């Protein structure tokens, strides 16, 4: 281990993977400091799962220098495997057996003694609020329970680095928040988390650093705030219920962007008090009375749309400069 790989839980440079003539990862670089949450975002098919599968030794890369947990992925995949846990996009839970039996199976795979296996399984079932369900077949579990069991199973081997591929897809808001607390708890215990998600709010909540994957490349990387600064998404939105009022407002407010379907108009604005007052004065003088007025500051959704709207097109120059 050299000094760089020491502090980094995951270090990838020039990671490349193609399926046939389709290049999925076109030479990407990733650096995840130990004890942090790194979130990989990207539209469906961008290659998030592929990246997780490569870094967790499930499939091999075509090229790239890859280090996980201080071990070289090509020369020491077994050492990498011993250091990590993976919760795949699709559940690893065996539905035919109970939650507890799934846990004990994992304990066996990790070569824990019978006694130790039972202790770890009981502790994790408790932590993931699955004690009551433990003796029931996993086939009877709800999606949220199955996801919790999935992650509990990942933690049996006490991994220092965990890969979570869309851990909260399909969960209701409460279960999602519970999952976030679980992830925060892991990080507080020093675990490094590599997270993929479709929920930008999730990356915003959890991730120390976020990377956006599109067209085989990382089109931006940074903290949530750094990424948000990349897009000028601030606007005031006026919504109308009466199509006639909407149309006359649209004529009066020529500079506004129209959305005919939702009968709404968008006026670019940074959202400051001064700007809002100017807009309100302007609306009064144009005799426009909207049914709803909302102020929208740029969020990760805006960043995501700006960066991933054209699958093959390059990111705007201003955004590219922020790729580190
Ligand atoms: N085994 C495979 N053989 C051929 N093509 C594959 C294989 N696995 C993935 N792909 C292709 O690689 C691309 C990336 O897939 P991947 O599953 O990594 O995307 P993703 O970002 O995880 O998408 P999602 O958000 O839908 O989960 C897709 O075009 C997919 O069709
Ligand atoms: Mg995926």
Distance (Å, rounded) from C-alpha 236 to C-alpha 258? 12
Do 203 and 220 contact (CB within 8 A), yes or no?
no
Between residues 317 and 95, the one the model is more confident about: 95
Q: What residues does 247 pair with on adjacent strands?
A: none
31-58 pLDDT, tens digit each: 999 999 999 999 999 999 999 999 999 9
Query: Between the CA of residue 279 and those of 258, 264, 275, what are the distances in Å?
Result: 16, 15, 6
Residues 6+ apart with CB under 8 A from 55: 10, 12, 66, 68, 73, 163, 194
Show the beta-strand stretches assigned E in 159-291: 161-165, 192-196, 209-214, 217-222, 235-239, 257-259, 264-268
What's residue 199's pLDDT?
Answer: 83
Residue 2 reports pLDDT greater than 80: no
What is the rounded average pLDDT of the residues 190-206? Answer: 91
Confidence at residue 310, expressed as pLDDT on a 0 to 100 scale: 58
- pLDDT (tens digit, 9 = 90+) per residue, 104-163? 999 999 999 999 999 999 999 998 899 999 999 999 999 889 989 999 999 999 999 999
Residue nearest to atom 16 of ligand 1 (CA): 47
- Residue in 47, 53, 91, 312 to alter for ligand 1 test, most ligand atoms within 8 A of Cβ: 47
Instruction: Give me the chain's average pLDDT, please.
Output: 88
Residues with CB under 6 A from ligand 1: 19, 24, 42, 44-50, 89
Domains and CATH numbers, the chain: 3-93+141-229 (3.40.50.300), 235-296 (3.30.70)
Residue 67 bridge partners (DSSP): 11, 72
Q: What integer is the mean pLDDT of 6-15?
A: 91
Q: Using CA atoms, how far apart are residues 40 and 221, in angstroms rounded to an integer? A: 9
254 pLDDT exceeds 50?
yes
Query: What mean pLDDT comes out for the span 273-300?
Result: 86
Which protein residue's CA is at the shortest distance from atom 7 of ligand 1?
Answer: 19
CA distance 307 to 145: 34
Query: In angstroms, what is the span from residue 53 Cα to ligand 2's centroid?
Result: 10
- As a whole-number percent, the residues of the chain with pLDDT over 90 amount to 62
Per-residue pLDDT tens digits for 264-284: 998 888 778 888 898 889 888
Which of 184, 48, 191 is closest to 56 using CA atoms?
48
């Amino acid at each position: 281990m050299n000094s760089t790989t020491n502090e980094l839980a995951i270090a990838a440079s020039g990671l490349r993977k193609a399926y046939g003539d389709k290049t999925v990862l076109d030479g990407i670089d990733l650096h995840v400091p130990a004890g942090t949450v790194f979130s990989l975002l990207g539209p469906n098919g961008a290659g998030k799962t592929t990246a997780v599968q490569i870094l967790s030794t499930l499939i091999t890369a075509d090229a790239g220098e890859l280090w996980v947990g201080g071990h070289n992925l090509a020369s020491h995949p077994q050492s990498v495997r011993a250091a990590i846990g993976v919760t795949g996009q699709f559940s690893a839970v065996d539905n035919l057996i109970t939650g507890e039996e799934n846990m004990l199976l994992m304990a066996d795979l990790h070569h824990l003694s019978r006694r130790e296996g039972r202790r770890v399984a009981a502790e994790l079932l408790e932590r993931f609020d699955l004690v009551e369900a433990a003796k029931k077949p996993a086939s009877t579990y709800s999606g949220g329970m199955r996801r919790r069991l999935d992650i509990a199973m990942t933690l049996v081997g006490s991994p220092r680095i965990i890969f979570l591929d869309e851990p909260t897809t399909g969960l209701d808001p409460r279960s999602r928040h519970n999952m976030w607390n679980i992830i925060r708890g892991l990080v507080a215990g020093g675990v490094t988390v590599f997270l993929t998600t479709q929920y930008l709010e999730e990356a915003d909540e959890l991730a120390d650093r976020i990377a956006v994957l599109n067209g085989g490349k990382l089109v931006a990387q940074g903290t949530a705030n750094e990424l948000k600064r990349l897009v000028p998404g601030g606007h005031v939105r006026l919504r109308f219920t009466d199509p006639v009022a909407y149309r006359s407002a649209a004529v009066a407010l020529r500079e506004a962007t129209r959305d005919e379907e939702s009968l709404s108009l968008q006026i670019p604005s940074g959202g400051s008090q001064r700007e809002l007052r100017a807009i309100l004065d302007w609306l009064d003088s144009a005799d426009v009375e909207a049914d709803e007025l909302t102020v929208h500051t740029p969020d990760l959704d805006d960043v995501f749309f700006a960066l991933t709207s054209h699958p093959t097109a390059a990111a705007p120059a201003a955004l590219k400069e922020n790729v580190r």
